Amino acid sequence: MSAKGLSLIDLEKVYPNKHGGAPVHAVDHVSMDIAPGEFVTLLGPSGCGKTTTLRMIAGFEKPTGGDIRLGDQSIRYLSPDKRDTAMVFQTYALFPNMNIYDNISYGLKIKKLSSSEINRKVMNILEMTGLKGLEKRHTNEISGGQQQRVALARALVMEPGVLLFDEPLSNLDANLRIQMRTEIRRIQREVGITAVYVTHDQAEAMSMSDRIVILKDGRIEQMGSPEEVYYSPNSEFSANFIGTANMLYGTVISQGKEGLTIETMGKQLKNIPSDRRFEPGEKCTVIVRPEACSVRESGLLEATVTLSTFMGSYQLYELQIDGRRFTVHENNPKNKHIFKSGETAFLHLDIADTHAI
């Protein structure tokens, strides 16, 4: 199988508004380069343009601007069957009147491969996707998870240059979803295929991807590895979309090589990491993950504990400071002092783990 690189170049899709309002910029000048064999996830809330982007790559939707390149070729004007792409849908879209074997081999038959060649490829994929022994069953005689595997096998067997997934796990229950995301990632790595995966589920995006593209209103908000987008979000939107984030709003006093000194809630905080330049007096937002906070008996920021809940691996606190709410995960609370709701305490920040934007 030869994985291909995929490039979206200033890709745009504008839908005319049928009801007389302004046209909808579903995909608004999106550019990205995806390396051969890379697993990239498009992540964002409903309506941000994920499906439209994927459907333009597959050829089911015509771009209104820009280009799409797969390998060394522009595919913008090619029909879907000429594109060397394959898609796995949320609804599986299996043929109900065919057994598993025929579902998976269908595309190869269309391509007029010999039956021995088809058999070799199908058996190989059945093995890889854990479906061996089920080939005679019909689609209504297997579970939802197995139907998902058939949909994946049917796409993989075509050995496409890029594999496209549109929220493929949404119809599965929570446990199976977690199991299948590991499984999809394992198979993708094993085959070495390029993959573009669409989801609105941040845990799915974090656990599966080489890179995550956060989309908002048809535009790229941020693109980076799961660690980059988690630890260095470039906006409040990105920070809130990936995991839980506390925000401290402050004013910059100075910026040195150790980081920022800011004033917030009448206190000074020093050595806050940031990727960007600030001028003294400029407003800034410090993003603090719950696990970079702890609750102490003394410290800088006095707080009221409004929630204290034992979660096993961590104590979940909610604190109120100057009318603002903070979420704290105190990890491994077994031998720590536990504050109760209603008590006064202090919020401690692991400054090195914060990030100012």
Residues that bind ligand ADP (CB under 6 A): 15, 24, 26, 44, 46-52
Q: Which residues contact 178 (CB under 8 A, 6 or more apart)?
A: none
293 binds, among Mg ion, ligand ADP, none (CB under 5 to 8 A by kind): none
What secondary structure letter does DSSP report for 221? E
CA distances from 285 to 247, 268, 321 (A): 6, 14, 16
Q: Between residues 19 and 112, which has the closer beta carbon with respect to ligand ADP?
A: 19
Q: According to the binding rule CB under 5 A, does residue 103 interact with Mg ion? A: no
Least CB distance from residue 90 to Mg ion, whole Å?
8
CA distance 287 to 118: 53
Q: According to the binding rule CB under 5 A, does residue 51 interact with Mg ion? A: yes
Least CB distance from residue 227 to Mg ion, whole Å?
26
| Stretch touching Mg ion by CB under 5 A, among 50-58, 76-84, 95-103, 270-278 | 50-58
Q: According to the binding rule CB under 5 A, does residue 148 interact with Mg ion? A: no
Q: Between residues 41 and 51, which has the closer beta carbon with respect to Mg ion?
A: 51
Maximum separation of any 2 CA atoms in the chain, in Å: 76
Burial bucket for residue 81 (CB in 10 Å: 0-12, 13-18, 19+): exposed
Q: According to the binding rule CB under 5 A, does residue 199 interact with Mg ion? A: no
48 binds, among Mg ion, ligand ADP, none (CB under 5 to 8 A by kind): ligand ADP
Q: Between residues 48 and 94, which has the closer beta carbon with respect to ligand ADP?
A: 48
26 binds, among Mg ion, ligand ADP, none (CB under 5 to 8 A by kind): ligand ADP
24 binds, among ligand ADP, Mg ion, none (CB under 5 to 8 A by kind): ligand ADP
Q: Between residues 51 and 354, which has the closer beta carbon with respect to Mg ion?
A: 51
CA distance 326 to 58: 43
Q: Between residues 44 and 224, which has the closer beta carbon with respect to ligand ADP?
A: 44
Burial bucket for residue 41 (CB in 10 Å: 0-12, 13-18, 19+): buried
Hey, how many other C-beta atoms are within 10 angstroms of the C-beta on 22? Answer: 8
52 binds, among ligand ADP, Mg ion, none (CB under 5 to 8 A by kind): ligand ADP
Q: Between residues 171 and 306, which has the closer beta carbon with respect to ligand ADP?
A: 171
Q: Taking a C-beta distance cutoff of 8 angstroms, is the pair 348, 308 a contact? A: no
Q: Taking a C-beta distance cutoff of 8 angstroms, is the pair 156, 184 a contact? A: no
CA distance 173 to 299: 44
Q: Between residues 62 and 132, which has the closer beta carbon with respect to ligand ADP?
A: 62
Number of residues in contact with Mg ion, rule: CB under 5 A?
1
Hey, how many other C-beta atoms are within 10 angstroms of the C-beta on 323? Answer: 5
Least CB distance from residue 87 to ligand ADP, whole Å?
13
66 binds, among ligand ADP, Mg ion, none (CB under 5 to 8 A by kind): none
H/E stretch holding 216: strand 211-216
Name the site residues for Mg ion (rule: CB under 5 A).
51
